């Protein structure tokens, strides 16, 4: 097999050399992890190599050489390693993988990755394609470097090297602490203990500190790679040091009370085997995760394995932590608020008996001498800078908190009034989500009144559709029994407001907040006139397939074969098959409909624009179709009920010369069509 260190030509010896430093504790296998269940993650693996999974959003990103038709590494004659993404289904199981990024995957090796908690920044390993050693003793092999990139809304961009890379050594396998401040990685730079050692760098403002070698407790005279740092303060890594189970084994280390490290512990079976085992990741609760192994019985070379540990991994001492969910939303519309900054302070009593606020952040304490080890310690209140967490697209953030402590929480977001409140996890008996409503301070309040005919009678229960003309986002409200509704419209946009009710003609009006420079209110009166006899006021709008998301029916009733619709608004990351989770309203409606009609079957046809080659766009449309099928499967719709067809750019709605197509014309050509082939 290709050894796990073969990545990009790094042919490292797996021979067992004499170990320098402390010997790791290897515990009796029969007494370890009796409740742990390990299973091959079949959907992730192929006949080639899959390894180094990393949590990303609601799924995993991992490394694979499965693209057999792609370019080959001239040294190995095998495909280059690329990054792939697999979403989790409703039960947390990985679905069929798709290509992760057009910009990151290149004609060279891309390797293990790490993400910040907001999934806006990635750190990844890549071959140093610009420099080779050229030395006879090195065989001219290519070194590895760590790069970072920022998500630009469509794909990853602004790719750049980290400052501590070098052309004469390799830097690889990044691992990030949850707050994004501690970066662990492996390197064979000069001054280490052996082959590859684990190093640590801390973010300092917008840059990174000079890396520190983690010392003899972690690093041996052999190779230490694939670090992973868990919020419990446990560092996992792989090593081929002697006296293990064979090949590379997975080890762990915990911080001690002096903020240094305890002795390393081999985590034993069933994680480690006589073969190579490495790349372990663990969920925040410490009871499930993934790792890589080339043990017998796999699907290919290196395979990714899932594990469930209901009693945790033996040997890890977890603080009494709970993952606390914070849900931040608009107090008026209850719409989720993304990118809200959550800063958490621990409430403590200082030496003077006064209340003291300690931020939940960690900083690196540099060693006093070269023989000392770097320590990790809690910062002081004055060290506060970046937030602990930003809310995601659903307005949620997940933070580990000690149930025995008290906290002060500060939530801020541009355009909203800052909120501060105290929180004691122990008082939240069932660990329910912490709801944080926020009130805008830069929006225009619309006080609406819906009436019938002459305005003398309120229209209760009318449907109000408010559409942002610039973003095409739609929200749905209802008038109360007095005909009133209220909403807060973000400044700087034009809005279309429509009121409708069965038996009445729709009423439309426009409103703009572009010149609004402060918070104020505006009244809107919407008058519903009775529809002519024999005409349902909503009939014209509901008798055609919906193309604006789940605010309107996707198909008119009754559901029957031959109906078709466009999944309007459904979007993917640029050049990839990763579905934008903010754009799934119509897809969610289709899933609900197919669950309501269990015999319903559909054809889903995916079209692309003309950017890129025809072959590339055809393959991309096919991959996007499979991603939609996998998404629906995760909602409970059997894959056999969904047939996907990729058309690429062959059936464009607007046949403009590609080089002169406008952005709007390209957008219209990118579409997903649904055709009902069978119904109840």
Closest by alpha carbon to 270, among 230, 232, 314? 314
Q: What is the pLDDT of residue 14?
A: 28
- Give the pLDDT score at 319: 60
Identify whether the C-beta of residue 125 lies closer than 8 Å to the C-beta of residue 105. Answer: no
Question: How high is the pLDDT of residue 474?
Answer: 73
Q: What angle do CA 239, 241, 242 make, to 5 degrees?
A: 145
Q: What are phi and psi of 615, to 5 degrees?
A: -65, -40
Q: How far apart are CA 137 and CA 147, in angstroms?
A: 27
- The predicted pLDDT at position 360 comes to 62
CA-based nearest residue to 217, from 271, 260, 279, 269: 260
Q: Give yes or no on whether 321-438 and 443-540 have one common fold.
A: yes
For CA atoms 624, 625, 626, 629, the dihedral sign is positive
Q: Which CATH superfamily is domain 544-678 in?
A: OmpA-like domain (3.30.1330.60)
Which residues 6+ apart lie within 8 Å of 224 measured at CB? Answer: 186, 194, 196, 197, 198, 218, 237, 238, 239
Q: Give the residue-averaged pLDDT of 642-664.
A: 89
Report how far residue 227's alpha carbon sits from residue 280's, in angstroms, rounded to the nearest whole number. 8
Residue 496 vs residues 470, 473, 504: alpha-carbon distances, Å: 10, 11, 19
CA distances from 649 to 554, 614, 664, 669 (A): 25, 7, 15, 8
Order of strands, sheet of 642-648, starting from the edge strand that comes earlier in the sequence: 564-566, 671-678, 601-607, 642-648
Q: Pick the more confident residue, 241 or 259.
A: 241
- The stretches of 452-580 forming alpha helices (DSSP H) are 539-542
Tokens coding 305: 């394995």
- Each residue of 78-109: pLDDT tens digit? 889 999 999 888 777 888 899 998 889 888 89
Q: Quick one: fold of 321-438?
A: Immunoglobulin-like (2.60.40)
| Residues 402-423, mean pLDDT to the nearest whole number | 82
Beta carbons within 8 Å of 13's beta carbon, 6+ residues apart: none
pLDDT digits (tens, 9 = 90+) for 62-84: 999 988 877 888 877 888 999 99
Between residues 478 and 137, the one the model is more confident about:
478
The number of residues making up the chain comes to 680
Neighbouring residues of 517: CB distance < 8 A, sequence distance ≥ 6: 491
Q: What is the pTM of this model?
A: 0.53
Nearest to 127 by CA among 155, 175, 161: 161
Instruction: Name the nearest CA neighbour of 527 among 468, 474, 458.
Output: 458
CA 476-477-478 angle, 5° bins: 135
Which among 620, 597, 607, 623 is positioned nearest to 676, based on CA atoms?
Answer: 597
- For 106, residues 6+ apart whose C-beta sits below 8 A from its C-beta are 80, 126
Residue 175 phi/psi, 5-degree rounding, is -140, 135
Rounded to an integer, what distance in angstroms lies between the CA atom of residue 45 and that of residue 37?
18
- What CATH number labels 7-14+38-308? 2.120.10.30
Instruction: Indicate the pLDDT class of residue 23, thresholds 50, 70 and 90.
Output: very low
Nearest Cα to 462, choosing from 487, 484, 479? 479
Residue 486 pLDDT exceeds 90 = no
Q: Is 625 helix (H, G, I), strand (E, B) or coil?
A: helix
Query: In Å, what is the CA distance from 635 to each residue of 130, 177, 549?
Result: 45, 32, 17
- The closest of 260, 281, 126, 114 to 185, measured between CA atoms, is 114
Q: Where are the domains of the chain?
A: 7-14+38-308, 321-438, 443-540, 544-678
Question: Does the pLDDT value for residue 303 go beyond 90?
Answer: yes
- Count of Cβ atoms closer than 10 Å to residue 294 Cβ: 22
Percent of the chain with pLDDT over 90: 26
Name which of 15-24, 115-124, 337-346 the model is least confident about.
Answer: 15-24
On the question of a cis peptide bond just before residue 558, with omega within 30 degrees of 0, the verdict is yes
Mean pLDDT of 655-666: 86
Q: Assign a CATH topology to domain 443-540.
A: Immunoglobulin-like (2.60.40)
CA dist., res. 243 & res. 138, Å (int): 29
Where do we find the tokens 């541009």? 414
Of residues 28 and 421, more confidence is placed in: 421
- 197 DSSP 8-state letter: E
Q: How confident is the model at residue 533 (pLDDT cuts 50, 70, 90)?
A: low
Tokens of 177: 């602490």
Rounded distance between C-alpha atoms, residue 498 and residue 66, angstroms: 50
Instruction: Give the C-alpha separation, 347 to 350, whole Å.
Output: 10
**Rounded to whole angstroms, how far apart are CA atoms 633 and 465?**
31
Handedness of CA 167, 169, 174, 177 (dihedral sign): negative
């Amino acid at each position: 097999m290709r050894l796990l260190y073969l990545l990009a030509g790094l042919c490292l010896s797996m021979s067992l050399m004499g170990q320098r430093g402390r010997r790791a504790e290897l515990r009796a296998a029969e007494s370890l992890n009796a409740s742990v269940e390990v299973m091959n993650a079949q959907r992730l693996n192929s006949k080639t190599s899959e390894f180094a999974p990393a949590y990303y959003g609601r799924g995993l990103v991992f490394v694979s050489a499965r693209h057999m038709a792609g370019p080959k590494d001239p040294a190995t004659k095998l495909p280059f390693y690329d990054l792939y993404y697999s979403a989790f289904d409703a039960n947390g199981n990985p679905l069929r993988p798709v290509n992760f990024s057009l910009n990151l995957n290149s004609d060279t090796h891309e390797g293990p990755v790490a993400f910040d908690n907001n999934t806006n920044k990635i750190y990844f390993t890549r071959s140093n394609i610009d420099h080779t050693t050229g030395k006879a003793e090195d065989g001219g092999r290519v070194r590895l470097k760590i790069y970072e990139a920022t998500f630009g809304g469509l794909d990853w961009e602004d790719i750049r090297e980290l400052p501590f890379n070098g052309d004469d050594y390799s830097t690889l396998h990044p691992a990030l602490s949850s707050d994004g401040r501690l970066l662990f990685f492996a390197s064979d730079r000069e001054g280490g203990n052996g082959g590859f050692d684990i190093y640590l760098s801390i973010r300092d403002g917008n840059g990174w500190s000079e890396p520190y070698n983690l010392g003899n407790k972690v690093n041996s005279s052999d190779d230490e790679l694939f670090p992973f740092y868990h919020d419990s303060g446990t560092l996992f890594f792989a090593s081929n040091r002697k006296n293990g189970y064979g090949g590379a084994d997975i080890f762990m280390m915990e911080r001690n009370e002096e903020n240094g490290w305890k002795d390393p512990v081999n985590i034993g079976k069933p994680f480690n085997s006589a073969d190579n085992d490495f790349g372990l990741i663990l969920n925040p609760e410490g009871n499930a995760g993934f790792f890589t192994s080339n043990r017998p019985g796999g699907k290919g070379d290196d395979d990714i394995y899932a594990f469930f540990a209901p009693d945790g991994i033996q040997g890890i001492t977890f603080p009494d932590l709970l993952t606390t969910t914070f849900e931040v939303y608009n107090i008026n519309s209850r719409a989720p608020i993304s990118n809200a900054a959550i800063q958490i302070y621990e409430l403590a009593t200082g030496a003077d008996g006064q209340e003291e606020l300690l931020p939940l952040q960690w900083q690196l304490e540099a060693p006093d001498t070269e023989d000392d080890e770097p320590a990790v310690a809690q910062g002081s209140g004055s060290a506060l800078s970046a937030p602990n967490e930003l809310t995601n697209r659903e307005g949620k953030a997940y933070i580990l908190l000690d149930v025995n402590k008290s906290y002060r929480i500060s939530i801020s977001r541009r355009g909203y009034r800052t909120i501060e409140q105290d929180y004691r996890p122990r008082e939240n008996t069932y660990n329910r989500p912490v709801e944080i409503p926020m009130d805008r301070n830069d929006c225009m309040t619309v006080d609406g009144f819906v009436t019938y005919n002459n305005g003398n009678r309120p229209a209760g229960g009318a449907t109000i559709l408010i559409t942002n003309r610039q973003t095409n986002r739609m929200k749905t409200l209802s008038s109360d029994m007095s005909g009133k509704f209220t909403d807060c419209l973000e400044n700087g946009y034009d809005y279309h407001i429509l009121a409708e009710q069965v038996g009445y003609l729709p009423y439309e009006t426009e409103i703009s907040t572009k010149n609004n420079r402060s918070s104020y209110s505006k009244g809107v009166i919407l008058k519903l006139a009775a529809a002519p006899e024999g005409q349902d006021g909503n009939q014209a709008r509901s008798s055609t397939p919906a193309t604006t998301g789940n605010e309107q029916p996707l198909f008119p009733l009754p559901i029957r074969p031959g109906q078709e619709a466009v999944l309007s608004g459904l979007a993917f990351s640029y050049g990839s098959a990763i579905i934008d989770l903010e754009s799934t309203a119509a897809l969610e409606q289709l899933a609900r409909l197919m669950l309501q009609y269990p015999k319903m079957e559909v054809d889903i046809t995916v079209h692309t624009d003309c950017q890129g080659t025809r072959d590339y766009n055809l393959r991309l449309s096919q991959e996007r179709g499979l991603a939609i099928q996998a998404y629906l499967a995760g909602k409970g719709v059997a894959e056999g009920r969904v047939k996907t067809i990729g058309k690429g750019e062959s059936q464009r709605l607007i046949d403009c010369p590609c080089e002169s197509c406008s952005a709007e014309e390209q957008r219209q050509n990118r579409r997903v069509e649904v055709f009902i082939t069978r119904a109840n």
